């Protein structure tokens, strides 16, 4: 029969470690299926001492995790804005050569750094104004939907 094997064919079996796994081999010598490790000792499981205690939230230690708040976002924005402002000032100071500017019949002269700063500011406005109008449109829509849901 192929399922029956000679115990010596299974390899060495030390007490406690179970040896190599062989199908239908039975339990290693010394375990007797009683949950012990073969040396007569019970598994190392420590039961909790006394009844479980519930610690109120006010007495718990605070998490060490730093949470993102609106104020921290504001400070991040202020610091980044200050860095950009310093870079713009350096750019303007380094580009003080006058440039002749013409726009729809108006003509003037100003430092090229200032002219480029005005152009950048107008570009920001071209993006910000339609974005702001879209935000207003979405707020009105949200207000209208909340009114219809609440009666």
Kindly state whether residue 93 falls inside one of the protein's structural domains: yes
Kindly state whether residue 143 falls inside one of the protein's structural domains: yes
Kindly state whether residue 76 falls inside one of the protein's structural domains: yes
Kindly state whether residue 47 falls inside one of the protein's structural domains: no
Kindly state whether residue 119 falls inside one of the protein's structural domains: yes
pTM value surpassing 0.85: no
Total structural domains within the chain = 1
Domain residues for 102? Answer: 70-150
**With contact defined as beta carbons under 8 Å apart, do 22 and 4 qualify?**
no
Per-residue pLDDT of the chain in tens (151 residues, 90 and over written 9): 555 555 555 555 545 555 555 555 555 555 555 555 555 555 556 666 666 677 676 666 666 677 778 788 888 899 999 998 899 888 888 888 888 988 898 898 988 888 888 888 899 999 999 999 999 999 999 999 888 887 6
Question: Measuring CA to CA, which residue among 35, 8, 40 is closest to residue 22?
Answer: 8
């Amino acid at each position: 029969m192929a399922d029956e094997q000679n115990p010596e064919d299974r390899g060495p079996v030390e007490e406690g470690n179970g040896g190599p796994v062989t199908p239908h081999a039975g339990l290693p010598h010394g375990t007797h299926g009683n949950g012990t490790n073969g040396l007569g000792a019970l598994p190392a499981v420590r039961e909790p001492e006394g009844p479980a205690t519930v610690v109120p939230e006010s007495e718990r230690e605070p998490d060490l995790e730093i949470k993102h708040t609106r104020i921290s976002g504001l400070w991040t924005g202020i610091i980044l804005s200050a860095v950009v402002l310093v870079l713009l000032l350096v750019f303007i100071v380094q580009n003080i050569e006058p440039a002749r500017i013409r726009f729809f019949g108006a003509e003037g002269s100003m430092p090229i750094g200032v002219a480029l700063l005005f152009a950048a500011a107008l570009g920001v406005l071209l993006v910000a104004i339609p974005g702001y109008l879209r935000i207003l449109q979405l707020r009105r829509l949200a207000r209208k939907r909340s009114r219809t849901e609440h009666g």
